[in-house]
């Protein structure tokens, strides 16, 4: 790969960043005049933010790129959720599961019980 720095399999960050930019522009870039789309700008910001988020931890976007679990060509199509570090993905998954559990009728509970969004947010935030 173009990002291979040598025979040891380590990646060159400068080459990798160029590959990310090339993949991002190819997938989401603008017209022939070099302009870029709003989607391109939003995805570039998301990639940048997630590359800086907890880079030293296993499961971070930077670590997954350096370990070649992800390729630069994968990044234009990933959601922010998919780019997030593994720890954050797990926290979000757990919070969603708890919120769904709070909204699910339990045996013996009336089926027509309505739970408001504020109640769910309070539950997820630990206030209920």
pLDDT at 42: 93
Report the Cα–Cα distance between both ends of the chain, in Å, rounded. 52
pLDDT digits (tens, 9 = 90+) for 5-42: 444 555 677 778 889 999 999 998 876 777 788 899 99
pLDDT digits (tens, 9 = 90+) for 113-126: 565 666 666 665 65
Q: Which long-range contacts (CB under 8 A, 24 or more apart) does 43-51 make?
A: 43/75, 43/76, 46/80, 46/83, 47/20, 47/75, 47/83, 50/80, 50/83, 50/84, 50/85
Length of the chain: 128
pLDDT digits (tens, 9 = 90+) for 48-88: 999 998 888 888 999 999 889 999 999 999 998 999 998 98
């Amino acid at each position: 790969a173009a990002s291979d720095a040598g025979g040891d399999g380590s990646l060159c960050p400068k080459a990798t960043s160029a590959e990310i930019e090339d993949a991002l522009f190819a997938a989401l870039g603008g017209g022939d005049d070099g302009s870029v789309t709003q989607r391109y700008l939003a995805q570039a910001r998301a990639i940048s933010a997630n590359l800086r988020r907890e880079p030293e931890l296993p499961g971070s976007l930077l670590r997954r790129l350096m370990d070649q679990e992800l390729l630069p060509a994968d990044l234009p199509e990933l959601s922010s959720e998919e780019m997030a570090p593994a720890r954050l993905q797990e926290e979000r998954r757990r919070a969603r599961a708890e919120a769904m559990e709070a909204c699910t009728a339990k045996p013996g509970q009336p089926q027509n019980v309505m739970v408001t969004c504020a109640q769910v947010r309070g539950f997820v935030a630990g206030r209920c």
